[in-house]
């Protein structure tokens, strides 16, 4: 087994390595967290969390007053908890569970890998997991994939650590099965296929398949299922009239059937892009000389796991409807395999890698200096530079130790590059190009038009990220006929004929706002002069 220089420098350096990991996480995931407006599915994850806090119903997620049955509620619970603890509604608050999940996965990877890898190897595995493009993109958004991938990644990390050290029973199965149970509440059972599809070939190759039907595995898996059942049974009882099983089946059928064969090739390229920059090192797993010096269990780990991982990464995308992000839960075992083979990288490649990373850092520094000169000072988020500066200070002070081994060196350099680019992007690019979008503009406009103590009724809204940015009391109704009499402010999609008086008797248009896609939202006041906007103000 290869041993890096760090292993002889004392336990204190483990904390130095972990400090670098935490600072790298902060530099890569925190800048711009509250500057970018919600995008993609973020509003669909955040709005049910807000309704949970307002209604007290944490069992069945609701979106705009209607039960949302398409996804389990773990991400909604996490966001609702974050909103409750912070007691403030903002983009960074709803994204906080995702970025913390990324830190949790990297931490578990590092500390469990230390039990069977050298310190540089464990360090590299954690840095790789945080700096893969695909996981970074999802890990900084209020979406399901960050938490889903983190929980599955922690299950892989603990299981592999126990297996390499020939542990059995509870130590092999308990924590991974609990993680898998919780992950089920994030996105359903796909991760179970990925997890067992990877570990079963390893157990068979090692002649240890009996572990699959051991008592410890059965009980641990049962405990994981109890976690699922604790939510699922009362949930099915509460939603029996809505037939959630049919909703899930239809969603799965539409997911598998909506994909087009013409998109498979594009999805394969996206899967490869998600693995950058570490995809460049994956061929080392098929170069026997890269791992022939490892101990027996580690050699078996690489020689067996590389195949199911490759099949899962590229075979899953061959199914029409499958998307590249579905493979993200496999990032943790891939990070461990790469950490084991990095010492085999040749000196010539190391030199090229070094100069490439140095060039990226230099370009980022130049952009950081010149960027503020090209935009207004108030458009620069200066705080975005702080985590990167702290990371750079630690690197300069402890450069000798951080660069003392091939694995560590190959991980540190792209980490610095990655952090530098993110810092410039978050400080200069995000405030200028991503802070103001139609959802934020419309939300602010509607908030200003509705008095603070008034209630806004929203008619048959559909999916609207705008609602996240309306800082007023909201009530959702299915039709105009269901409008409460006491509510004087109404928001609805623009009718084709704009006959507001016919649609809402006595209604007066206060303004129109851009909604999701090409939809126009109309804010209407109805009532007498005593309740008019002027009188209420």
Under the banding of pLDDT at 50, 70 and 90, the label for residue 5 is: very low
> Distance between CA atoms of 123 and 471, rounded to whole angstroms?
44
Query: Looking at residue 231, what is its pLDDT?
Result: 96
Strands 455-459 and 473-477: parallel
Question: Nearest-CA neighbor of 85 among 74, 73, 96?
Answer: 96
- Per residue in 374-412, pLDDT (tens digit) is 677 677 888 899 999 999 999 998 888 888 888 999 999
- Per residue in 168-195, pLDDT (tens digit) is 999 999 999 999 999 999 998 889 999 9
> Distance between CA atoms of 312 and 197, rounded to whole angstroms?
8
- Tell me how far CA of residue 491 lies from CA of 485, 521, 528, in angstroms: 15, 7, 18
pLDDT at 282 over 90: yes
> Distance between CA atoms of 98 and 140, rounded to whole angstroms?
6
> Distance between CA atoms of 152 and 146, rounded to whole angstroms?
10
Cα 531 to chain centroid distance, Å, stands at 45
Under the banding of pLDDT at 50, 70 and 90, the label for residue 19 is: very high
Least confident among 119-133, 254-268, 347-361, 363-377: 254-268
Does residue 153 sit in helix, strand or coil? helix
Q: What mean pLDDT is predicted for residues 320-346?
A: 91
Query: Looking at residue 9, what is its pLDDT?
Result: 37
Q: What percent of the chain has pLDDT over 70?
A: 90
List the beta bridge partners of residue 475: 457
Query: Please, what is the average pLDDT of the chain?
Result: 88
Better-predicted residue by pLDDT, 428 or 81: 81
Query: Looking at residue 436, what is its pLDDT?
Result: 73
- Per residue in 450-498, pLDDT (tens digit) is 999 999 999 877 788 999 999 999 999 988 888 888 899 999 876 555 5
Tokens for 445, please give them.
């406009």
Query: Looking at residue 518, what is its pLDDT?
Result: 79
Strands 66-67 and 489-493: unpaired
Residues 327-352 as b or e (16 or more Cβ within 10 Å = b)? bbbbbbbbbbbbbbbbbbbeeeeeee
Under the banding of pLDDT at 50, 70 and 90, the label for residue 415 is: very high
Under the banding of pLDDT at 50, 70 and 90, the label for residue 260 is: low
Q: What mean pLDDT is predicted for residues 81-99?
A: 96
Task: Walk me through the domains of the chain, giving residue ranges and CATH numbers.
Answer: 41-289+300-344 (no CATH), 352-433 (no CATH), 438-536 (3.40.190)
Cα-Cα-Cα-Cα dihedral of 29, 30, 31, 34, to 10°? Answer: 120
Rounded to the nearest 5°, which phi and psi values hold at 36? -75, 135
Q: What is the pTM of this model?
A: 0.92
Q: What percent of the chain has pLDDT over 90?
A: 64
Under the banding of pLDDT at 50, 70 and 90, the label for residue 529 is: low
> Distance between CA atoms of 489 and 527, rounded to whole angstroms?
9
Bond into 517 cis (ω within 30): no
Sequence-distant contacts of 172-177: CB under 8 A, at least 24 apart: 172/211, 172/216, 172/217, 173/211, 173/214, 173/216, 173/217, 173/220, 173/221, 174/216, 174/220, 174/223, 176/220, 177/217, 177/220, 177/221, 177/223, 177/224
Whether residue 423 contacts residue 30, with contact meaning beta carbons closer than 8 Å, is answered with no
> Distance between CA atoms of 108 and 155, rounded to whole angstroms?
9
Query: Looking at residue 461, what is its pLDDT?
Result: 75
């Amino acid at each position: 087994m290869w041993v890096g220089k760090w292993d002889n420098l004392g336990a204190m350096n483990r904390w130095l390595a972990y400090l670098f990991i935490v600072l790298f996480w902060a530099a890569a995931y925190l800048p711009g967290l509250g500057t970018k407006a919600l995008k993609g599915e973020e509003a669909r994850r955040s709005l049910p969390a807000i309704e949970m806090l307002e209604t007290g119903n944490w069992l069945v997620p609701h979106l705009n007053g209607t039960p949302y049955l398409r996804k389990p509620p773990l991400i909604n619970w996490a966001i609702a908890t974050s909103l409750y603890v912070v007691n403030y509604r903002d983009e960074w608050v709803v994204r906080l569970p995702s970025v913390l999940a990324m830190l949790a996965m990297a931490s578990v990877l590092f500390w469990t890998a230390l039990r069977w890898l050298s310190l540089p190897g464990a360090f590299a595995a954690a840095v790789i997991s945080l700096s893969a493009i695909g996981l970074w993109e999802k890990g900084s958004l209020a979406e399901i994939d960050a938490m889903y991938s983190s929980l599955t990644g922690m299950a892989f990390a603990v299981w592999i650590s126990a297996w390499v050290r020939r542990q059995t029973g509870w130590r092999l199965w308990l924590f991974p099965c609990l993680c898998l149970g919780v992950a089920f509440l994030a996105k359903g059972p796909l991760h179970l296929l990925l997890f067992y599809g990877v570990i079963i070939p390893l157990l068979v190759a090692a002649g240890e398949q009996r572990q699959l039907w051991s008592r410890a595995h059965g009980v641990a898996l049962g405990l994981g299922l109890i976690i699922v059942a604790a939510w699922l049974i009362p949930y099915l009882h509460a939603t029996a009239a809505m037939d959630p099983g049919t909703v899930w089946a239809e969603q799965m059928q539409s997911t598998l059937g909506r994909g087009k064969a013409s998109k498979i090739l594009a999805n394969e390229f996206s899967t490869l892009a998600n693995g950058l920059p570490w995809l460049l090192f994956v061929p080392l797993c098929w170069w026997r000389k890269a791992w022939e010096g490892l101990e027996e269990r580690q050699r078996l780990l690489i020689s067996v796991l590389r195949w199911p991982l490759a099949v899962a990464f590229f075979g899953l995308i061959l199914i029409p409807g499958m998307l590249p992000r579905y493979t993200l839960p496999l990032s943790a075992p891939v990070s461990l395999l790469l950490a084991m083979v990095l010492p085999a990288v040749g000196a010539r490649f190391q030199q090229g890698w070094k100069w490439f990373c140095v060039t990226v850092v230099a370009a980022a520094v130049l952009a950081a200096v010149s960027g503020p000169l090209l935009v207004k000072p108030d458009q620069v988020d200066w705080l975005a530079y702080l985590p990167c500066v702290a990371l750079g200070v630690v690197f300069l002070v402890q450069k000798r130790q951080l660069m003392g081994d091939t694995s560590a060196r190959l991980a540190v350099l792209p980490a610095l590059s990655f952090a530098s680019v993110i810092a410039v992007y978050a400080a200069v690019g995000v405030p200028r190009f991503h802070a103001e979008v139609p959802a934020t503009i419309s939300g602010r406009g509607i908030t200003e038009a509705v008095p603070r103590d008034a209630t806004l009724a929203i008619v048959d809204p559909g999916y609207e990220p705008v609602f996240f940015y309306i800082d007023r009391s909201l009530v959702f109704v299915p039709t105009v006929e269901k409008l409460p009499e006491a509510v004087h402010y109404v928001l609805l999609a623009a009718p084709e004929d704009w006959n507001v008086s016919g649609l809402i008797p006595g209604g007066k248009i206060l303004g129109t706002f851009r909604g999701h896609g090409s939809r126009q939202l109309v804010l209407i006041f109805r009532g007498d002069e005593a309740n008019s906007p002027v009188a209420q103000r």
